[in-house]
Amino acid sequence: MDKALADLIRMSNVTGKDPALVLGGGGNTSVKTEDGRHMYIKASGTALKDMNEQRGWRRLRIEPVLAILQDRSLPKLDAIGRENTVVSRLLEACDDNCGNGARPSVESHLHALLKSHVIHLHPLAVSAYVNARRGQTELARLFSEEKVPPLWVPYADPGYMLAKKIAGLVAGYQQEHGCKPQILFLEKHGVFVTADSANAALRLVHKAIERCESRLKPARAIRIKAPAPEDVTVAKLAIRKAVFAATGLYVPVSYFPATPNLAAFMAHRDSRALLAAPALHPEELVFANGPALWVENTDPARITRGIETRVARTRKAPYAFVVKGLGLFIAADKSLAPLAAEMEDGSVAVRMHAHRFGGVLGLNKREQEFINNWESEAFRKKLVGGAGKGELSNRIAVVTGAGSGLGRSIAVGLAKAGALVALTDIDEKAAQETADLIARAKSKDQAKVIRCDVTSEDSVRAAFQGLLAHWGGLDILVNAAGVAPPYALVDMPVDKWRMALEVNLTGYLLMAREAARIMIAQGMGGSIINLSSKSGLDASKNNTAYNATKAGELHMARGWALELGEHGIRVNSIAPGNVFEGSRIWNPEYIKVCAKKNRIKPQEVIPFYVNKTALRREIKGQDIADAVVFLCSDKARTITGQTLVADSGQVMVR
């Protein structure tokens, strides 16, 4: 491995694994080659700790990178056009075999100005100063005895403008001190250290952090009693409802118990005022949509007003909510939640420190506007949060019987449409196989396996508690678990009859009852779908239990639609035709029964039933999944109490 690349990986990994040095895995590193012609630099969106020989970096030719700063045409462009041009120029300067679409850091031209080994970080100890009104004065006092003093860099928009400002400041510094600066403190941003070796750069990092920490007071030890689970659930539902009311967006809500920083902050007398200050730095604005919103109590209407006020001021709804006495709640994609939580836990610590140094210094309105419109930050966020949402984006769904057959097809279909899907089944292994399918098709964050026996009240209640603990709400229930004991009336065992009643009727009832309670408490409406069958409309021979229960499911759904309509909860049924693909019902024994019933050979059963349809088309799991997605979507917003027959035209609704 090239020595410069080896140094880059080592510096990145060492700093990236130290939580005192990085915020959300962010930061940049670079190392120049010995001949001074090339520079290895971290790629955008890569966590420092994850960089290795194969990924997470790009190699640039330094000459065209520095030429960007000399181009007199760039300042004449508007900000967005200028930054997009710079991104293109940096990609053109890449000289490596990395074909994975990784971008070099947008600060590459800044790194090119400094010494051979550069580390850029956003440690909380540094943020306490660079985000404080007297921060520059405090840092000057801390480093007053240094022969090579740090360089203070007043705020500039990240990217080209920051590089231009630092170019001028470094030139002036070099003229005054006869050398380039070793430490650069960037207002509302972070710290750069620059040295002639990896070891020297790492030593400088620790020196800067230790010096900054020496003037900071540790958070006051505050003991908070662990909140009751029901109080956390109430807060989650209230926040989710408020976000929906203010923005029309569906979001999962995650809970993070109070850390020492957060506990001290909740006890601070000025906590509300400290959170009223704007975002501290670009990372907080991008990955948390600004500072957390202070929540005194969990009244959804008050939280809604708080969100609306924030949106009116900043055009962004906050992801984070500090609920007094409970902790931190994040209303955002599950993939973003841990990062946003880390941002906000650090933010409250910085705000308390900055309060001692003259007050919080955050991004002003113009600075925020630039970040909001900067494509490079949107690119970084996309790498963390994923792409490709879908018409059911972030709606939270429960599918019973998700381990096989139509339950599996429906669960995968909902996930492909963007929903977050709880896969409930008595067979956890089978449900996990469905989760693996969703992970390959979309994201592992979109599925959660929850064991559930739909005939048990305790099991159903526990399943929904697990759902609320994980995602904090509910929008969709699909009752798909079912059995079909194939017996003629004269041969029908009563235990099989009762089993069908328990799974196909009691199971649907218990799941719908619990779902309706949550949806009503949440106050955002919802959709319940009973997966019935064409046999619920047009009875089939030797299928007494199935005929009865499938017809019952239709009528239960109609009654529920009348009961729940005032809460905005729609209830519909889907009556599929014969779906053979992946079905546990259409097992070899059942096919033999059907063959005997119709006086045909087992291998003729599937073609026989397909030919009974008007379309002469076999129904697939995807067909039923598409019908479910439609009924759960806003396109079906006026449809309730109805039965959608997806059977290729075998049974006509009368």
pLDDT > 90: percent of the chain: 77
pTM of the model: 0.87
**In degrees to the nearest 10, what's the CA dihedral of 296, 302, 306, 309?**
-150
pLDDT above 90 for 29: yes
Tokens of 96: 């490596």
Last residue of a domain, one of 188, 213, 238: 213
Are residues 409 and 482 located together in one domain of the fold? yes
Which tens digit of pLDDT belongs to each residue from 377-406? 555 555 555 544 789 999 999 999 999 999
**pLDDT 10s digits, 597-644:** 889 998 888 889 888 888 888 889 999 999 999 999 999 999 999 999
Q: Given the DSSP bridges, would you call strands 293-295 and 253-257 parallel, antiparallel or unpaired?
A: unpaired
| Residue 224 falls inside a structural domain | no
pLDDT at 3 exceeding the cut of 90: yes
Higher-pLDDT residue of 375 and 183 is 183
My answer on whether 284 and 364 are in the same domain is: yes
pLDDT at residue 68 greater than cutoff 70: yes
Tell me the C-alpha distance between 631 and 528, whole Å. 9
At residue 181 the predicted structure's pLDDT band, cuts being 50, 70 and 90, is very high
**Lowest model confidence (mean pLDDT) among 289-303, 363-377, 391-405, 481-495:** 363-377
Contact at 8 Å (CB) between 242 and 327?
Answer: no
* Count of domains forming the chain: 3
- Which residues, at least 6 apart from 43, have a Cβ–Cβ distance to it below 8 Å? 55, 56, 57, 58, 98, 102, 103, 104, 105
Say whether both 168 and 46 belong to one domain: yes
Residues 6+ apart with CB under 8 A from 482: 401, 503, 504, 531, 549, 585
Residue 498 lies in a domain: yes
**Which pLDDT band holds residue 320 (cuts at 50, 70, 90)?**
very high
Q: Which of 28, 61, 59 is nearest to 45 (CA)?
A: 28
pLDDT digits (tens, 9 = 90+) for 585-594: 788 888 888 8
- pLDDT at residue 382, rounded to an integer: 59
Q: What does the block give as tokens for 570? A: 């729609």
Q: Are residues 292 and 349 in the same domain?
A: yes
The rounded distance, in Å, linking the Cα atoms of 252 and 453 is: 25
Running DSSP on this structure, what letter comes out for residue 387? Answer: S
CATH number at residue 503: 3.40.50.720
Asked if 134 and 205 sit in the same domain, the reply is: yes
Please determine, for residue 69, whether its predicted confidence score (pLDDT) is greater than 80: yes
What does the pLDDT average to over 151-180?
A: 93
Task: Assess if residue 472 is contained within a domain.
Answer: yes
pLDDT mean over 328-341: 93
Alpha carbon separation from 648 to 612, 615, 618, 624 (Å, rounded): 9, 5, 8, 11
Q: Mean pLDDT lowest for which of 33-37, 424-428, 646-650? A: 646-650
pLDDT at 387: 45
**Residue 645 — φ and ψ, nearest 5°?**
-95, 115
Task: Give yes or no: residues 364 and 453 share one domain.
Answer: no
* pLDDT of res. 652: 73
196 and 272 fall within a common domain: no
- What residues does 424 pair with on adjacent strands? 400, 450
Task: Tell me what pLDDT residue 375 has.
Answer: 61
167/22 same-domain check: yes
- Partnered with residue 184 across adjacent β-strands are 151, 192
Does any domain span residue 589?
Answer: no
- Could you tell me which of 498, 418, 387, 434 has the C-alpha nearest to residue 252? 418
**Residues belonging to the active site:** 546
Phi, psi of 479 (to 5 degrees): -85, 105
In a domain, 84, yes or no: yes
Between 617 and 449, residue with greater pLDDT: 449
For 193-211, write each residue's pLDDT tens digit. Answer: 999 999 999 999 999 999 9
**Confidence class for position 362, pLDDT limits 50, 70, 90:** very high
Residue 521 shares a structural domain with residue 475 = yes
In the block, tokens 């940096």 appear at 90
Do 196 and 284 lie in a common domain? no
Better-predicted residue by pLDDT, 217 or 631: 631
Instruction: Note whether residue 219 is domain-resident.
Output: no
Considering the domain boundaries, does residue 299 fall inside one?
yes
| Residue 236 resides in a domain | yes
Return mean pLDDT, the chain.
92
User: Of the residues 213, 245, 278, which one is the last residue of a structural domain?
Assistant: 213
Q: How far is CA 440 from the centre of its chain?
A: 17
- The highest-confidence range among 323-337, 589-603, 640-654, by mean pLDDT, is 323-337
Last residue of a domain, one of 385, 415, 430: 385
Strand partners, 97: none
Same domain assignment for residues 79 and 134: yes
Q: Which domain holds residue 248?
A: 229-385
Residue 221 binned pLDDT confidence (cut-offs 50, 70, 90): confident
Q: Are residues 236 and 196 located together in one domain of the fold?
A: no
